[in-house]
Structure 1
Amino acid sequence: MGKKVLIVEDEARIREITSDYFKVSGFEVYEAENGREAMEIFDLNEVDLIILDIMMPELDGWSVCKRIRKKSDVLIIILTARSDEEDKLMGFELGADEYVTKPFSPKVLVARAKTLFKRIEGNVGEKNHLIIIDGIEINKQAYKVKSDNQEIELSPKEYSLFLYLVENKGVVLSREAILNNVWGYDYFGDTRAVDTHIKKLRKKLGNKAQHIKTIIRVGYTFEVNR
C-alpha cells in the first residue's frame, strides 16, 4: 500500500488534476473541498501527507493547519496563490513542511512530496541509529528525540533541522547551508524560515537549547562543552 495523501482544495479542477498525478505515482488519495471536510477525513483516516490550500470556504487552511498541528506531526505542504513573504512565514510558523505557490506543476509537487518522505526515512536501516549527547538522545530509526529521558515532540521539519545541527556539531552552519540541506536545493524561500524553526526548536528543547548557538550575521552551530 502506498503513502496516503489528503488533498484539500476548493477548486475542483486543480484538486482532480493534483489527485490524478499522486495516484499515478502510487499514492492513495483522499480529497476534500473545504477545511471542515478535511478535518472530518483526517480524524477518520490515517494520512501521511496533506496538500493544503489556504483560501477555502467554511474553514480556511491556516485554521486547518493549526488544528492538525495540535494533534499530529503529519507532513503538510501548503499549496496556495498567496505568495507574500509574510504568508510564507505564517505557514512555517504554523508548522508547514513546504510552501508551494500557484501556478504550480503537479509533477514537481509530487516530486517535492517524495523528497519530504525520503528526508524523514533516509536513516532507516543504519546500524548507528542512536545519537546520545549531554542527555539528548536522537533515535534515527524511530525519528524520536528525548531530553533527559523525556520525549520531545518535534515536527518532521524540526526533527530534520535538529538532526542536521547535531550531526554537524561544532561546525558553523550558514542559513543558506541549512536551507539547502534541510529544506532542499529547490527551496527558494526566505532564510528567515530557518530562524523561525530555530526559535520553535529552542522552546521545545528547554534547558538543552543552550547548545544551539547563534553566530551573528552567519547562522547557527550546535556546541557541547564537554
Structure 2
Amino acid sequence: MKILILEDEKTIRNALRFALKKAGHDVQEYENPLKAAEMFDKTRFDLLIVDLMLPHLPGYEFISMLQSRRQLVPTIVLTSHPETARELIDFEALNDIRLEIISKDLPFRTIIERIQHFLMPIYTK
C-alpha cells in the first residue's frame, strides 16, 4: 500500500515511517504540505496520514485542497486536539471518503494499531 505521511514533527514522522515500512507499506513522508501536494499530482496514494496543525497550510486545509482537486484518498488525521479536528473538518463534504481522527496523545503502539485497523477495509478492495 502506498502511504503519504504529512507531519511536521520529525520524531513522529520517522516513527510512523519506520513502523509502516516494517509492515510492508511503501511510505513517503513530508513536513511541508506544499511539497506533499506536488507529490499528490505525480503519484496515486492509497492512504494519507496528516497532522491537523501544520505550518504554512493546516492539515484540514490540505484535505480541503485535495477535495477540490478530486484527489482525496482514505485519510487519517493525527492531532493532539481531536475535538478541534471535529470542528474544523467538514465531514459532510467528505462523506465519499473514509476519514478517521487519531489522537497523538495515545501510546504510539495504539496509534499504529489504529492505523492498521483502518487499513483493513482498504486491503480487501
TM-score (norm 2): 0.82
Give 3-state SS (helix, strand or coil) of 1:98's partner: strand
User: Counterpart of 1:82 in structure 2: which amino acid?
Assistant: H
Give the aligned partner of residue 91 of structure 1.
89
User: Counterpart of 1:56 in structure 2: which amino acid?
Assistant: L
Residue correspondence of structure 1 range 127-146 to structure 2 within 5 A: none
Give the aligned partner of residue 111 of structure 2.
109
Give the aligned partner of residue 81 of structure 1.
80
* Partner deviation per Cα, 1:53-105 (whole Å, 9 max, x = no partner): 02111111011100112313411000011132x53243362636100111234
* Mapped partners of 2:90, 2:116: distance in 1: 19
Q: Give the unaligned 5+ runs of structure 1.
A: 125-226
Give the aligned partner of residue 71 of structure 2.
72
What's the % identity of the aligned pairs? 28
Give the aligned partner of residue 52 of structure 1.
50
* Mapped partners of 1:21, 1:83: distance in 2: 23
What's the CA shift for 1:17?
Answer: 0.8
Please say which structure displays the higher CA radius of gyration. 1
Contact 1:8 1:53 in 2 (8 A): yes
User: Counterpart of 1:80 in structure 2: which amino acid?
Assistant: T
What's the CA shift for 1:7?
Answer: 0.6
Give 3-state SS (helix, strand or coil) of 2:8's partner: coil
Q: Residues 116 and 102 of structure 1: is their aligned pair in 2 closer, same or farther, counting only changes over 3 Å?
A: closer
Give 3-state SS (helix, strand or coil) of 1:113's partner: helix
Residue correspondence of structure 1 range 1-226 to structure 2 within 5 A: 3-70=1-68, 71-84=70-83, 86-91=84-89, 93=91, 95=94, 97-122=99-124
* Mapped partners of 2:113, 2:81: distance in 1: 21
Give 3-state SS (helix, strand or coil) of 1:36's partner: helix
- Aligned alpha-carbon RMSD (Å): 2.1
Give 3-state SS (helix, strand or coil) of 2:89's partner: helix
Contact 1:78 1:91 in 2 (8 A): no
* Mapped partners of 1:27, 1:107: distance in 2: 17
User: Counterpart of 1:115 in structure 2: which amino acid?
Assistant: H
* Partner deviation per Cα, 1:5-61 (whole Å, 9 max, x = no partner): 111011111111111011111111101102112111211111110110021111110
The total of aligned residue pairs comes to 120
Give 3-state SS (helix, strand or coil) of 2:81's partner: coil
* Mapped partners of 1:116, 1:83: distance in 2: 17
Contact 1:81 1:102 in 2 (8 A): yes
